[in-house]
Structure 1
């Protein structure tokens, strides 16, 4: 396994100079969306080289989800794709030496959709919320230049900042955000994890299925309610279905986002916003919004649209 791991990292280092990349899909990724699938393969090393670990901890049916993504990744040219068997029913594997070796042999990872809270409970030890050896190994591959890709919940869980758990825009704007977790008595209320996601990117709150489910209100309210807190940030990013935000040079001053796919990505910059209550109702002004579509790019250094730079 160690030899395979070193070969994978060598391929990544020669091709990309060990720069980290993310492909964040808003859910509903069409099997025929070659722009996105080909980018996923490319950034993990390319056709015949890319080796994927498929993480289905968010899914309600991990084996079925794993089989689906393994087949698709191979169809698009992955050299291999393996199910990383860690989820709420297989938590013991997050410290299993064979599983760790399998993780270390990959050049990229694909996180499935489902419920992002399951990713947290599967890859951390509670009640202390200590990172598992498996997540540390995924992070090791990623920090060495490996790719992290995800769809739906697999996107929402990636940020180091507060992680949205659920809620609808009307309830969010009316009642605000709650860090208490999902409340079955109020299933439409906006809830979030104040301790964040798995931390593969920082400086943004991530949301998915964005335009289709009208999530603008809930993302604005979550960012506004939490941006002065320990894991708050002034930037919210909402990714539409069958669309990906590709982030290059993650963590560098040159960090850039490129939009690929059917619809778009909404960037909500609240750094100059003002919150007030008018007649007892919550209100916000000066929210800068930028909606980018296929081929558009965004600089995270200064939070500005820079147009198409990739040809």
Structure 2
């Protein structure tokens, strides 16, 4: 079962809320149907939303913040604040902390997840965003780097095109919004299956989730997540894994992983986090 550090997602995110945690694989459609962004907008309160945009992962935070501000303005949102956090002390700003208390939506943009964690981890603003998201008080979305930081263990980088091995993935600590996950993004688009499997061999108590571009895994307070978008969400589930040689081989030697489960989900499919089983889209 996917659990938070002290309580289950079911206990802490009321089933009656429309709030959700949206984990987006990057490159979401910003021009045409904007399905994922429209879903975030709706879940955050539509035209009545109060949205905080956190562009700290980007090397050009002002430009990326303005881009998302324009998108949400075009959707009819009147109250938008770009939290342009460029130094760790910025995470203590009282005016931004006050805005987070009343925000109905928080959107974390893409860029460099190491930069993002370095600026936000253990700051009052991020601590409050995490708490409100886990309580179901705010809709939180993260795209690309903003998705990578969702778990307690985070994929910081690595390679592709090889068999799973320990050297293929660089791991560090994320922001623990959904601590039982290890998230990889731009997934099939950048051939990252072996990278995610290598991460799960290291942390077999976690659930691996690989999310394609323009695709979202939307977590709600009923032990389910649903897939939205044009790609797929890949689940790497080590719950019944009977053996891995991960502790015993060198950094570049191939990994063995026996009885590892893999599920591929597309738009509308759901995944039961308690039973760890996929559910087809409603007919």
TM-score w.r.t. the length of structure 2 is 0.85
Name the CA distance, whole Å, in 2 between partners of 1:198 and 1:282.
28
Q: Could you say what secondary structure the match of 1:289 adopts?
A: strand
Equivalence for 1:266: 234
**Matched residue count:** 262
Equivalence for 1:293: 266
RCO (CA 8 Å, sep 6+): is it higher in 1 or 2?
2
Name the CA distance, whole Å, in 1 between partners of 2:70 and 2:61.
14
Picking from 238, 244, 250, the partner of 2:216 is: 244
Residue 226 of structure 1 and its aligned partner are, at CA, apart by: 2.2
**Does the CA contact (< 8 Å) of 2:24 and 2:144 recur in 1?**
yes
Picking from 213, 220, 225, the partner of 2:190 is: 213
**Does the CA contact (< 8 Å) of 2:24 and 2:185 recur in 1?**
yes
Name the CA distance, whole Å, in 2 between partners of 1:61 and 1:197.
22
Q: Could you say what secondary structure the match of 1:282 adopts?
A: coil
Cα distance per residue 1:113-138 (max 9 Å; x no partner): 011111211013xxxxxx11111232
Residue 283 of structure 1 and its aligned partner are, at CA, apart by: 2.0
Equivalence for 2:138: 146
**Does the CA contact (< 8 Å) of 1:242 and 1:261 recur in 2?**
yes
Cα distance per residue 1:235-260 (max 9 Å; x no partner): 100000011111111xxxx3211111
Residue 307 of structure 1 and its aligned partner are, at CA, apart by: 1.5
Residue 282 of structure 1 and its aligned partner are, at CA, apart by: 2.6
Picking from 181, 196, 203, the partner of 1:204 is: 181
Higher mean displacement: 146-155 or 100-109:
100-109
Cα distance per residue 1:229-284 (max 9 Å; x no partner): xxx51x100000011111111xxxx3211111111100111122222489x74322
**Does the CA contact (< 8 Å) of 2:24 and 2:216 recur in 1?**
yes
Equivalence for 2:5: none
**Does the CA contact (< 8 Å) of 1:84 and 1:103 recur in 2?**
no
Residue 20 of structure 1 and its aligned partner are, at CA, apart by: 4.8
Structure 2 residue 90 is the aligned partner of structure 1 residue 86: no
Give the aligned CA root-mean-square deviation in angstroms. Answer: 2.2
Mapping of 1:78-157 within 5 angstroms?
Answer: 78-87=77-86, 90-124=87-121, 131-142=122-133, 143-157=135-149
Unaligned ranges ≥5, structure 2: 1-13
Name the CA distance, whole Å, in 2 between partners of 1:281 and 1:138.
39
Unaligned ranges ≥5, structure 1: 1-14, 125-130, 178-188
Cα distance per residue 1:291-310 (max 9 Å; x no partner): 1111111111121112224x
* Structure 1 stretches of at least 4 aligned residues deviating more than 4 Å after TM superposition: none
Cα distance per residue 1:149-204 (max 9 Å; x no partner): 01100101012x31000001346724x05xxxxxxxxxxx42110xx311211321
Picking from 201, 204, 207, the partner of 1:224 is: 201
Name the CA distance, whole Å, in 1 between partners of 2:101 and 2:85.
15
Name the CA distance, whole Å, in 2 between partners of 1:55 and 1:218.
27
Mapping of 1:155-174 within 5 angstroms?
Answer: 155-159=147-151, 161-170=152-161, 173-174=164-165
**Does the CA contact (< 8 Å) of 2:198 and 2:255 recur in 1?**
no
